Structure 1
Amino acid sequence: MSYPKQFGSLLEASSYQSPGGGAKYAPMRKKIVDTAVEMGYDAETMVEVGVVWADDHDPFQHIKNHQYPHWANTCNLRVFQSFEAHLKDKFKDLMAARHIGVMVKGFSLDLKAPVNFPDSIIVANRLAEVKPDRYKGVTSMWSLTQGRIVANMEGYVVFFDYDKGRPANLLEAGGVHADLYHALEARRAREEKRALDWEAKNPKKLRAKF
């Protein structure tokens, strides 16, 4: 079994699985997280998932295609959890799919590079569009050992009224639901500005590495 050349042994290369995440991975992790934030991704809802040799590979020793949406959804669940600060006592309803909750409408997946063990993946989300009844998210996945985005997932999440069986307009619902809409739109505007600033400063890096 091979491992990336920046490591001295397979044990060191898989140290992201150890408590603390491995000293050799610390600077790689910081560089990617800092870059992702500069690119407009949300720092608070990021996740890191380590590649598991026995579980994540397909017969060609690459990560299974269906693993990427699973990782993206792990991050997206943290996005939903961030709604608690705005929904307050209504948050439990959202997480239990009662009254007004969330529903994934659809997504597309763009695989940019193969990934295999050993490696660890940073998953981060940014908002691309916010409407009263839905938002579009971009969830990107970075390989720590490769130092680049290896997959992007884009899709819509709909706010759904489970009592009426149709999408819910947060502005019409009012109260804390309207507060959530305004918070998401403010977040989208901040993230879009950071993304545009980063792209203006790094056009070659955007094409070559991300």
Structure 2
Amino acid sequence: MNKIIVYEEEDFEGFRKEFTCSVPDLRSVDFGDCISSLKVIGQPWLVFRDPNYKGVGFAYEEGEHKHIQLSNNISSLQLVTEDLEDPQITLYEHPNYEGISKVIKEETNLSYGYFNDKASSHIVQKGAWLLYEHPRRGGWYYIAREGTKLENYGPLYHFHDKCSHVYPLKSGRPRIQQKVAVRTQVGNKYLVCSIKPPQQLCMVCSSIYAS
């Protein structure tokens, strides 16, 4: 299950709430402008300074984040629902998808190639991407979602000829939600065992490990 757990204080202290779907206005659930740390399970989540997923936003992938951007200034939460497998984005040299184009399918440091600080528009074919101002995921970034187009980085975002790094958001590893039975053959015998959360089953080697 995709889930975000948000905490009132840093280091996962204070009041907490859990959400499994997007929340356009955290004040409607009595948790506006008070989040200081969070945990993400499954798909990434986006946090925004303003209600209705507007204003400055940041992305968080699966994991524990005890110090976050926009601490005590988060007003809405949005679950990333796109299929994040096989991501693809096309960057264009000029506004309106003109000029030289570059198709990207994985994390790329543009400063190592010929397209550094050259993009002025883009189209996202698959996944969700972070477009960074500086190499190595540095500086300000723009969140680009599947099926969206941005025809001109200049007037609204002042991002013209500034993109130096692109990163596709990734989902967390699959988790077992229900107790299951595992049947393994050992010689002429079959062994049957059951596992349940928080353990996980490696589908490649059938080994069991704790999450």
TM-score relative to the length of structure 2: 0.22
Q: Over alpha carbons, which structure has the higher Rg?
A: 2
Higher strand share: 2
Higher helix share: 1
TM-score relative to the length of structure 1: 0.22
